[in-house]
Amino acid sequence: MSNKISRLALVVDDDPIIRMDAGDILTDAGFQTQEASNVSEALEMLETMGDDIQLLFTDVQMPGDQNGFDLARKCATRWPHISMVVASGQLSPKADELPKQAAFICKPFSAQVVYDRLQQILPEQQQPEPLKQGTST
């Protein structure tokens, strides 16, 4: 059991399997997770819980007129305290397309890759729990 303050992450992906996998990785890293399946749903959740969220984990390509890059930029403007991991299997960000508190990872991703990015972007008091040995993700 950790002595660290409870941390909340919002996982946004239109694929329920990937959303669940990312949520499991973040739970193992010590986060409580909430899930959204598109940018509009994520923005609604951020409006009500944004002050309590420390991490946004989002896919890039999702249904609707906004993508994960749009979500990351809106999140950085409105909730600058939120760190972000942006994932895609097809698109890579162009220069300056992501906010400074965001890190990009390629899909498919492993728990180790997510964990490494969390260590890079999270403030010291929000660092992830050590990875459990023997977990397969």
| pLDDT tens-digit readout, 7-29 | 999 999 999 999 999 999 999 99
Give the pLDDT score at 94: 87
Is the peptide bond prior to 108 cis by the omega test (within 30 degrees of 0)?
Answer: yes
> What is the band of 134 on the pLDDT scale with cuts at 50, 70, 90?
low
- In which order are the strands placed within the sheet that holds 7-12? 31-36, 7-12, 55-59, 83-88, 102-106
* DSSP 8-state secondary structure symbol assigned to residue 7: E
pLDDT at position 33: 97
Segments making up each domain of the chain, as ranges? 7-124
CATH no., domain 7-124: 3.40.50.2300
Distance between CA atoms of 10 and 72, rounded to whole angstroms? 12
Per-residue confidence band for 74, with pLDDT thresholds at 50, 70 and 90: very high
Enter the pTM of the model: 0.92
